[in-house]
Structure 1
Amino acid sequence: MMHKFLMSVYKEMLLLKRDFGGLVILFIMPLVLIITITLIQDSTFKSIHETKIPVLLVDNDNGQISETVKQNLNESGSFEIVTQIDGKTINEEVAREAVFKGKFQLAIVIPEKLSKDLQLKVNQNVEKILGSFGMEDTASVAQKNIKILPKEVKLYFDPATQLTFKNAVKSAIDKMISKIETQSIYATFQDQLGENDAPLFDQKSFISFKEIVPKVNDKEIMPNSVQHNVPAWALFAIFFVVVPLSINIVKEKSQGTLIRLITNPVPYAVVILGKTATYLIICMIQFFLMVAVGVYLFPYFGLPTLDVNGKLILMSIVALFSGLAAIGFGILLGTIAKTQEQSAPFGATSVVILAAIGGVWVPVFAMPKVMQYVSHVSPMNWGLNAFYDVLLRNGGIGEILPEIILLLLFFLLTTAIAIVYDKKKREV
């Protein structure tokens, strides 16, 4: 039996050797993907201070509020204020046209007399409150009859701008303006009550936010693009062996090779074990190539280095069982498919779908609720969660054990179905 198994492995090696070009593509394509995607996504993981977005600012106010807005935008470190185009000061029309043509992502238009009218409105409200306590200043009665219309800070966005960026900017601007209004109210109360020597109101924020992240050796663990992309695209590469594996199985059936093997006689389970061992080696080579790119090549592109110290063994275990799941799926597909025209496109499409719903491209938490539940059926999601447990959550074997069991059960189930299906088909 061992001799038959080794001969089955040898046969698979010969088949792969004959399709050397396809084998090279199987290794090169994932490497190109991981480098390209990581370079594109790296800026989203970097500190906001490393990338500044040019923002058009039209200041029709020229007052305290506009100065505060400029100061806050500059201090945020994520925006570069642009007030001139081709040496000319921009107005609202020019800003709108530039943004809508895609030359800039954002334009902020501050309305006229915003600072003056805000202070006037605050004065009216404060006088009204003080008047209810009999502390009204007769000199300011004339201000009550002045009608002040609400002001709008206009935000122009490039139509191609993502919704998440729009919401983030609108939230930041709204927070900024609210803070200015609050400070104006405090200052006006201070003036009206005549407490100019010592502050009457503490204007510092009482509630603040603090992010707590995991630490190792008193150093914060900050996820980066490499930690997300290496495991994700390693899984994609591993599962892409479904295509050549299923095609080879279909070839054996169409060329009569499988019949000769079985009449030799060689049990179909031994044939499957030979394919499993061969393609599992390929999966592990793909995984270690991906890790090598993350550790040794990415630093030359200015990307973070993948830290695998003390984690490589657990990552290898996850890759091993992910490879088994991929092989099981490929064996099932190759056993059921009748032609290469069926196995190749279905295999490639199904891998893309499993990657999409598994969180390789879009994080699961960003999906609709229905898709979040659907994602749990994807073996890529199990493998990806296990990788994240090791790389980002400092998990041990106990944390990744549930995902490993699921991947192993998936392999056993798909392989068993393939063996039963083949046996029944030959009996008929």
Structure 2
Amino acid sequence: MIALLASLKKESLLLMRDWHALALLFLMPALFIIIMSLALQDRFGAEQGMELAGQFNDQASTRDARLFRQQLELSPYLSLQDSTRPLSTSGELYAITLTADFSQALEARTDKPGVMLRFAPELGGRERALIRAAVQETAGQLRATAIAEELGYDKQYAEQEFLLTHLIVDATDTHSDQPALPSAVQQNVPAWLIFAMFFIAIPLSTAIIDERQQRTFIRLRTLGTSVGLIYSAKILPYFVINLLQLVLMLMLGIFLMPLLGGEALHLPAPQIPALLIMAVCTSLTALAAASLIASAARTTEQAAIASAAGNLLLAALGGVMVPVFMMPASLQSVAELSPMHWALSGFIELLVRQGSWSDIAAPAFKLLGLAALLFTAAWALIQRSTRHA
């Protein structure tokens, strides 16, 4: 125990002296969380609205055209302006132009188009589809109302008999506090926390290799210090750092993000123990990966490249950079192979759906299983190198 405490003190002092690297471990995920949460807060999340600015040009100047615009402006997603400026993501994103044949086209008395749509080249397919759907819905409502009036009925009859508004009922539990999808903060806080936990492989693996190259490892062995104690003393301080990262990133989401104009992260008290378990499982897997890299690499350059490349690949596939639910089906299947996705799915289950222990059992056990496998492989390589030292 005395030897372990002495080793832990040595490693802690080395860590504190390298304060640049220590600061990076906390500043990097914090900056990513702030930037990505603010940048994507209007892209997804149940409570985040989307209002797309666009142009409306009326070449018809008819009653139907005026009714069309009035109905279209009721859409919560569209913001229409009278403008002819070039379309761009920094201004109007789309242009809706009613042609001179609009009324005839609405009444199906001509084959010519009644509405022309133009989009900014950078506008995504999701937004384009939303705008088309709003225009199509508005045209359908006006046409159904006109037919009902010709038959002697009112707008309510048109909505019930022609538009079948009673056919679809929103079955979402409006009294539930659980959104269907994570908000930007709920996605990015655990995502970049996990990335930071795995990023710790770079300083840990390079520190181990540096001691090996400087023959510090051999000197400790000649003093009777066991291999297990040496590596345990290396790993434990980084394990504590991972847990501190958890606390600080959660505090950032809860207190700082609202001050910066983002959504606050809500952390239900019953989920805190389960969040801690997910953090422990994630940290052990990250430390196991770092140990394997340190035992397999021969130089600090090899370890740094392997750690950085591996982390970026796992993050890209695991839903850290792009949420998995936004990926095509083929990539979603590949994402299941990333341990970062296992960890992120567990955090999302707790933060978004307020899941129970049983809901995180699968990702937690997968992380622990992988950690055990990686630690075993690292230990085998360490024992082999020790025998040949």
**Distance in 1 between residues matched to 2:382 and 2:46, nearest whole Å:** 55
| Unpaired runs of at least 5, structure 1 | 85-89, 122-147
Deviates more, 1:234-243 or 1:303-312: 303-312
- 2:306 is the alignment partner of 1:346: yes
Give the deviation of 1:47 after TM superposition. Answer: 7.3
1:424 alignment partner, one of 362, 367, 384: 384
Q: Is the 8 A contact 2:89 2:122 kept in 1?
A: no
Q: Residue 369 of structure 1 aligns to which amino acid in structure 2?
A: A
**Alignment pair present for 1:108 and 2:88:** no
Equivalent in 207, 211, 224 of residue 265 of structure 1: 224
Shift of 1:416: 0.9
Number of the residue aligned with 1:247: 206
- SS of match in other structure, 1:55: strand
For residues 299 and 368 of structure 1, what CA distance do their matches in structure 2 show? 32
The residue that corresponds to 1:14 in the other structure is: 13
| CA shift in 2, pair 1:19/1:414, >3 Å | same
Which residue does 2:286 correspond to in 1? 326
- 1:162 alignment partner AA: G
> Per-residue CA shift, 1:69-97, capped at 9, x if unaligned?
3123321133221114xxxxx4xxxx6xx
Q: Is the 8 A contact 1:55 1:79 kept in 2?
A: yes
When residues 250 and 50 of structure 1 are mapped into structure 2, their CA distance, relative to the original with a 3 A threshold, is same
- One-letter amino acid of the structure 1 residue matched with residue 216 of structure 2: T
Partner of 2:134 in structure 1?
172
Instruction: Pick one of 343, 364, 373 that aligns with 1:413.
Output: 373
- Alpha-carbon distance, 1:208 to partner: 2.1
1:316 matched residue in structure 2: 276
CA displacement, residues 389-424 of structure 1 (integer Å, 9 cap, x when unaligned): 111122111211221111111211111101101222
Aligned pairs (5 A) from 1:118-157? 118-119=106-107, 121=109, 148-157=110-119
The residue aligned with 1:299 is: 258
2:44–2:183 contact (8 Å) kept in structure 1: yes
C-alpha separation in 2, matches of 1:303 and 1:185: 46
Q: 1:199 to 1:290 in 2, by over 3 A?
A: closer
What is the aligned residue count? Answer: 382
Shift of 1:290: 0.4
Match of 2:353 among 367, 370, 393: 393
How does 1:86-97 map onto structure 2 within 5 Å?
90=84
Which residue, out of 345, 353, 364, partners 1:404? 364
1:288 and 2:269 matched: no
Ranges in structure 2 where 5+ consecutive residues have no aligned partner? none
**Corresponding residue number in structure 2 for 1:133:** none
Structure 2 equivalent of residue 381 of structure 1: 341
Fraction of identical pairs, as percent: 28
Summarize the Cα distance change of 1:179–1:331 in structure 2 as closer, same or farther, 3 Å threshold.
Answer: same
Name the structure 2 match of 1:27. Answer: 26
Kept in 1, the 8 Å contact 2:72–2:134? The answer is: no
Moved over 6 A (4+): 46-49, 198-201
Residue 160 of structure 1 corresponds to: 122
Distance 1:236 1:117 in 2: 54
What is the RMSD computed on CA atoms of the aligned residues? 2.6
Change (3 A) 1:303 1:103: closer
Look up the match of 1:232: 191
Residues 172-202 of structure 1 deviation map (CA, whole Å, 9 limit, x = unaligned): 22232233333334444x16xxx89x96984
Q: Tell me, yes or no, if the aligned pair for 2:33 and 2:185 is still in contact at 8 Å.
A: no
**3-state SS in 2 of match to 1:154:** strand
Using the size of structure 2 for normalisation, the TM-score is: 0.90
Q: Which has the larger radius of gyration?
A: 1
SS of alignment partner, residue 117 of structure 2: strand
TM-score by length of 1: 0.82
